[in-house]
Amino acid sequence: MERVLLSVIVPMYNEEEVIPETYKRLKKVLDGLKETYEIIFINDGSRDKTREMLLEICEKDQTVKLIDFARNFGHQIAITAGMDYAAGQCMVIIDGDLQDPPELIPEMIELWRQGYDVVYGKRKARQGETFFKKFTAKVFYRILRALTDINIPVDTGDFRLIDRKVSEALKQLPERNRYVRGLMSWVGFKQTAIEFERDERFAGETKYPLKKMLKLAMDGIMSFSYKPLKLASWIGSVLSMFSFLYLIIVLIQKLIFPHSTQSGWASLIAVSLFFNGITLLMLGIIGEYIGRIYDEAKGRPLYIISQLKNMEDRTGPRFKTNKD
């Protein structure tokens, strides 16, 4: 069995409390492998000591590499950069907070050797997460499944091993508002799952507040489905049908009782509020799509790197760097 190079991609955003432990546990698992490996940390514009701590590890350990972003670009962009720079024949994407157990990596490699191109972790249980988070996640994955035509597996995160083929295919998808798991389903390849229990975060707090979660959910739906747009035409046609029927009733009433004084204030307000609400909601949905089109039209690079450590620079638009 030939030895391969494995790249482990770990996004880090304000994770100073977990870095030593994550490094230790990753190292332990990776040193037990027959493969050679590199660990690529991405510092996603952290405001704490994350950058300094990662640089320190890079000094001591040449297998550790750092992509230091110029600001916070978000988790999905961070793992994209990791895949862009990874040198391995296969790569593992893993959260930096030890919620995804590194101990699963050997099993993933085993499946990869059997010929699978994507081995994703499927969450059997989620420890130490709020009921709200688990519930919204469950609902979201099912809505996404209902709205899209591609087969995006439910209850999986970004924790997975992928073959180099997959990351090369992803480089051809330049879109900015990325939902990486969806993109990986979209490119296809031979996929399989392994189940695991998602642990509690080792330390610190979630870096995915509700706002970022909603953004990710919207990206997931909007990048893979037009159905929200169709909703506008559906609701529009149903409502205009009812409105037209009501119009006829009003006209007939007026013809039969021309002098009746009707107190119509409440119904007028109700109708007006209802229709304005629906109209604004639909405009909002259209706006979300237009905003995303605008992002694409500007064609900005996905991320800006302020510094690379223990790895060489690359060229090309997606790899633009301001090297120090």
Using CB under 5 A, list all residues that contact Mg ion: 95, 97, 99
- State which residue, 203 or 311, has the beta carbon closest to Mg ion: 203
d(CA 135, CA 299): 36
Q: How far is the CB of 74 from ligand UDP (least distance, A)?
A: 5
Task: Indicate which of ligand UDP, Mg ion, none lies near residue 13 (CB less than 5 to 8 Å, by partner kind).
Answer: ligand UDP
Helix (H) or strand (E) holding 158: strand 156-163
- State which residue, 99 or 185, has the beta carbon closest to ligand UDP: 99
Q: Is 40 left (phi over 0), alpha (psi -120 to 50) or beta?
A: beta
- State which residue, 48 or 282, has the beta carbon closest to ligand UDP: 48
Q: How far is the CB of 48 from ligand UDP (least distance, A)?
A: 11
Angle between helices 131-147 and 210-224 (to 10 degrees): 10
**Which amino acid appears at position 206 of this protein?**
T
Q: How far is the CB of 110 from ligand UDP (least distance, A)?
A: 25
- State which residue, 15 or 219, has the beta carbon closest to ligand UDP: 15
Footprint on this chain of ligand UDP (rule: CB under 6 A): 11-13, 15, 44, 72, 74-75, 78, 95-97, 99, 201, 206-208
Phi, psi of 151 (to 5 degrees): -90, 90
Q: How far is the CB of 97 from ligand UDP (least distance, A)?
A: 4
**Nearest C-alpha neighbor of 319 from the set 163, 216, 111, 174:** 174
- State which residue, 78 or 108, has the beta carbon closest to ligand UDP: 78
Task: Indicate which of Mg ion, ligand UDP, none lies near residue 44 (CB less than 5 to 8 Å, by partner kind).
Answer: ligand UDP
3-state secondary structure of 86: coil
- State which residue, 12 or 109, has the beta carbon closest to ligand UDP: 12
Under 8 Å between Cβ of 39 and 26: yes
Task: Indicate which of ligand UDP, Mg ion, none lies near residue 78 (CB less than 5 to 8 Å, by partner kind).
Answer: ligand UDP
Q: How far is the CB of 270 from ligand UDP (least distance, A)?
A: 41
d(CA 165, CA 152): 19
Other Cβ atoms closer than 10 A to 77: 20
Other Cβ atoms closer than 10 A to 261: 6
Q: How far is the CB of 211 from Mg ion (least distance, A)?
A: 16
